[in-house]
């Protein structure tokens, strides 16, 4: 007599159930970690913009409230190598000297 060795349907269903439970736990944590990383990168970009803006203001002898644009920071003076991109797809606003830059994505603030 020949005896076949194979998994039963019940055993395969149990394995699929266990994998499903693990995925239900892992996927939300992955999404949360990804968004947290994007937010932290955006905040770091805002700090870099603010630092560059303050350096530009000192070099140009600007006062609090004077206008500053991204082209002032990235242009010929090159206070930043390139225009930073928000990892969440938002846009940055430099704002006036003495105020914090902003991101169009809510929750991403300096």
pLDDT band, very low/low/confident/very high, at 1 (cuts 50, 70, 90): low
Burial of 36 (0-12, 13-18, 19+ CB in 10 A): exposed
Cα 97 off chain centre by:
24
Q: What is the pLDDT of residue 2?
A: 64
Q: What is the mean pLDDT of residues 84-103?
A: 93
Question: Could you give the CA distance from residue 62 to residue 84 in angstroms, rounded to a whole number?
Answer: 23
What is the value of pTM for the model shown?
Answer: 0.76
pLDDT per position as a tens digit, 42-71: 999 999 999 999 999 999 999 999 999 999
Q: What is the pLDDT of residue 106?
A: 76
Residue 106 vs residue 103, higher pLDDT = 103
Q: What is the pLDDT of residue 78?
A: 79
């Amino acid at each position: 007599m020949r005896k076949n060795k194979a998994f039963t349907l019940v055993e395969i269903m149990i394995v699929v159930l266990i994998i499903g439970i693990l995925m239900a736990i892992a996927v939300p944590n992955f999404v949360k970690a990804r968004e947290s990383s994007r937010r932290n990168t955006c905040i770091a970009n805002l700090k870099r913009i603010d630092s560059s803006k303050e350096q530009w203001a000192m070099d140009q002898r600007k006062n609090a409230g004077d206008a500053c644009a991204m082209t002032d920071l990235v242009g010929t003076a090159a206070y930043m190598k390139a225009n930073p991109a928000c990892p969440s797809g938002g846009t940055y606003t430099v704002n006036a000297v003495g105020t914090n830059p902003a991101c169009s994505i809510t929750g991403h603030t300096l």
